[in-house]
Structure 1
Amino acid sequence: MSGARERFVIAVDRCSPDLLRYFSRRGGPDAADLVSETVAIAWRQHRRLPPDSTEARMWLFGIARNVLRNAQRTEVRRLEVADRLRSAVELELRSLPPDTRDDVRIALEHLDPELSELVTLIHWDGFTLVEAAQLQGIPASTARGRYQRAKSVLRELLTASPC
């Protein structure tokens, strides 16, 4: 093993528990993933690892700090996107006639999960039958049969008189 690689392995072995604690205190449940990302980034730059063990530790923690900041920014963006999507879905649901909103949702809940998923992929998410089949990992012919069965069951559920 070359000198730079050997120093890198030693530095990572010494610092990994400290890095894990660092991320655990700040990053939550993804701490091990963040340590892994830190080590991967450090490895790509391992020739820049300072020879002194204290400086090497500081160097690794500098990388860890940047990894944490990137992860936090990513999480903020993810939450913003989720909020926008949630708002769009709520707006879409509000645009449905009041008498069909709950009826359709309840009817979909009575379908087998794979049938319900197929129907929602086509009607709510805008995929074609062939695209929905690909997403579900099934042949288009299977999707066609399931879709026909789902339409039949939904028709019965939605036209049944409430007695």
Structure 2
Amino acid sequence: MSDSGTALMQQLYDEHAAALWGYCLRLTGQDHARAEDLVQETLIRAWRHRARLDESQGSVRAWLFTVARHLAIDEWRTKRSQSEFSVAEVPESREATDHTDQLLLSWMVADALLSLSADHRAVLVECYFRGASVAEAGRTLGIPAGTVKSRTHYALRALRLVLQERGVSA
């Protein structure tokens, strides 16, 4: 690997590895080994497609997260197809709930949240994911309740636009 290639990968790692690790942990349901594998494979793909890492072609972090998400989906599909087998009789149906669509949607929302500003993301995390009231969120974030309300309003609008751009009906 050339010195410039090493420097590029070191910069990529320094800027994005922590966020990519956290994202992969969420994708794998907190499975550290699988998350490590996803991060490693994502960074290998980044190495193989170094030309794609030019910021002028779009967000590098968004590209990395998309690659990680696709790898996780591919892994899930492979495991599912390996666990399927043919049977002589159709088994009785158990009314099992399939959460695949909900899981994929939650990944897409988590990915879309990363495109919001830090202030907007913080109020949405406090109010919607942690279930804090406006007053509690204000205390936690160190801002007035009115600012929490305003930021939440604009953050939801921005999130809706990002999801619509990505083809998710919000």
Q: Provide TM-score, normalisation by structure 1.
A: 0.43
- Name which one, 1 or 2, has greater alpha-carbon Rg: 1
**Which of the two has greater helix per residue?**
1
Q: Provide TM-score, normalisation by structure 2.
A: 0.42
